[in-house]
Amino acid sequence: MKDWLVYILRCGDGSLYTGVTNDLEKRLKAHNSGRGAKYTRSHAPVELAYSEPAPNKSSALKRELEIKSLTREQKLTLISTKPAHV
């Protein structure tokens, strides 16, 4: 089993999407092919802007909620502090 990650995507319209996964490459392909989240289907293409590891799914989901509660400016600051990688 792969490690869990929390990630932020920059959508084609400039909006940000936050999610969790244990297979980032597969999830990015799903988002860009229209098989990802409903939100990203209408805001494609997407690119990875940020990711951070989580020890388990529960922790990843909690962190996802924390990030989703941030303002856009706070999310952009978070993104600028750590480069994303697949």
Q: Which CATH class is domain 4-81?
A: alpha beta
Q: Interior CA angle at 82 toward 80 and 85, to 5°?
A: 115
> In this model, does residue 68 exceed pLDDT 60?
yes
* Nearest residue to 59 via CA among 10, 28, 31, 22: 22
For the stretch 2-32, pLDDT in tens is 789 999 999 999 999 999 999 999 999 999 8
Whole-prediction pTM value? 0.89
Domain boundaries, the chain: 4-81
State percent of the chain over pLDDT 90.
70
